[in-house]
Every structure is written in C-alpha cells, then in structure tokens.
Amino acid sequence: MKTMKPFVLWVIIFIPFILLSCKDDNVDNTKPTINLIKPDQNQIFNIGDEICLEAELSDDIALKSYKVDIHNNFDHHEHNKQSNAFNYNNNWDISGNKNTSIHQHIDIPEDATPGNYHFMIYCTDMSGNETHVARDIEIVNPL
C-alpha cells in the first residue's frame, strides 16, 4: 500500500480545486421566451397590405430588447435582377419588463417584389441571453 500514497495525496490536492470553483452563484443563464402568435407559418400577404405581428415575450429576470428582421428567400439563381426586394430590420427597447405583449403592423411597400420571405424575431434579456423564432411567409400581388 505504500506505493499508493502519492496517488491518494494528489487526489486530495485536486478535490479542493473543484469544490472551490463549483460554487453556485445563481447566474442568469436562462433565455427569454418568444411566443409568436402572428404571422403564421406560410401565411400569404398582399403587396400594399401590412404584416400583423403579435407575440408574447417573457423572461425570468428582465427583458431587454427585441428585433424584427424580414428578408427575401427568392430562388437564388434568378434574382440578380431584382433590385427592390423588401427588407425590414428594426428593433425596440423593452428594458425592465418581465413579460410583454407586442402588437405591430409592418407595411409592405407598393414596390415590394413578390415572393418567399423570411420573418425573424429575436429577443434578448438584460444578461445577454438571446432567443429567436423564424417563419416563412409569402408576399403576392393582390388579385
């Protein structure tokens, strides 16, 4: 057993290092949640109408901000000539809230190119935790 002594020694030396560093400090590592009610997946919108955004955002500590990003998802081989695809990128401050409901209308400009688009909503909390949700939408010429 004499030979095992150093082994035991080093195990003992090593353990405090782990205990020292494992203390729990209640760090906020929980992401905010996004409950995206509108738009629906594959929802179709007319050019000139507006996209209705409805969502519930919440966080266990405090929300910070959210961002909406809409960009096209055209067939990538043809749209070189498309110059006026509809792009939308905006963000809002909701600092301090734990829960919030958002309801917004985003205009689709008259010169928007019809096609498939991606709708994305991002949300952060005060600690920098981030969540996002994506939807596919389609923009068409009105009948």
Partner 1 sequence: MKRIWFLFSIIYSCIVFAQHDSIALRNLDEVSIVEDRGNSHIQKIISPNIIVNDSFIINRYDGNLFKTLNKIPGISSMDIGSGFSKPNIRGMGFDRIVLVENGIKHYGQEWGVDHGLEIDAFKIKNINIVKGAYSLLYGSGAIGGVIIVEESPPSQENNIFGEFISLFSSANTKFGESLQLGFQKDNFLVKIRYTQQNYSDYKIPTDSIIYLTRSIPIYNNRLKNTAGYEKDIDLYFRYSTKNWISIMQISNAKQKNGLFPGAHGIPSINRVLDDGNYWGIDLPYNSVNHFKLLFSNTYLFEKQYIEWNLGFQNNLREEFSPFNTHYIGIQPPEINPNKELGFDLNTISNTLKMNYFNGIWKHVYGIDMNFKLNKTNGYSFLLPEYKEFSTGVFFITNIDISDRININYGVRYDYCAISIDSYFDNYLKEYLILMAYKDSIVDYYSYRTKDVNKNYYNSSYSIGLDYKINNKNRLKINIGKSFRVPNANELASNGVHHASFRHERGNNNLEPEKGWQINLDYIYKNKSLEINISPFYYYFSNFIFLQPTGLWSLLPDAGQVYEYRGSQAILIGTELSLNYLFSNNFRLTLASDYIFTHNLSDKLPLNFSPQSKILLNLSKNIKRIHLYIETEKIFSQYMVARNEESTKGALLFNCGYSHYLKIKKQDIHITLSINNILNKRYMNHMSFYRKIEIPEQGRNIQAIIKIPFNINN
Q: Which residues are near partner 1 by CB under 8 A?
A: 3, 6-7, 10, 13-14, 17-18, 21-22, 25, 27, 29, 31, 64-65, 67, 69, 71-76, 79-80, 82-85, 87, 89, 91, 118, 120, 122, 124, 127-130, 132-134, 136
Q: Least distance in Å: CB of 37 to partner 1?
A: 15
The token duo for 36 is: 């995206």
The token duo for 14 is: 């090593």
Query: For residues 27 and 143, which CB has a smaller minimum distance to partner 1 in the complex?
Result: 27
Query: For residues 29 and 105, which CB has a smaller minimum distance to partner 1 in the complex?
Result: 29
Q: Least distance in Å: CB of 94 to partner 1?
A: 13
Q: Using the structure block, give the residue that is written with the tokens 């629906």.
A: 40
Query: For residues 75 and 143, which CB has a smaller minimum distance to partner 1 in the complex?
Result: 75
Going by C-alpha positions, the residue among 110, 82, 104 that lies closest to residue 92 is: 104
Q: Least distance in Å: CB of 72 to partner 1?
A: 6
Going by C-alpha positions, the residue among 118, 44, 29, 14 that lies closest to residue 74 is: 118
Query: For residues 46 and 82, which CB has a smaller minimum distance to partner 1 in the complex?
Result: 82
Q: Least distance in Å: CB of 107 to partner 1?
A: 13
Question: Which distant-in-sequence residues (6+ apart) come within 8 Å of 58 by Cβ?
Answer: 32, 33, 35, 98, 99, 100
User: What's 17's DSSP letter?
Assistant: H
Distances (CA, A) of 70 to 9, 15, 91, 106: 61, 52, 12, 10
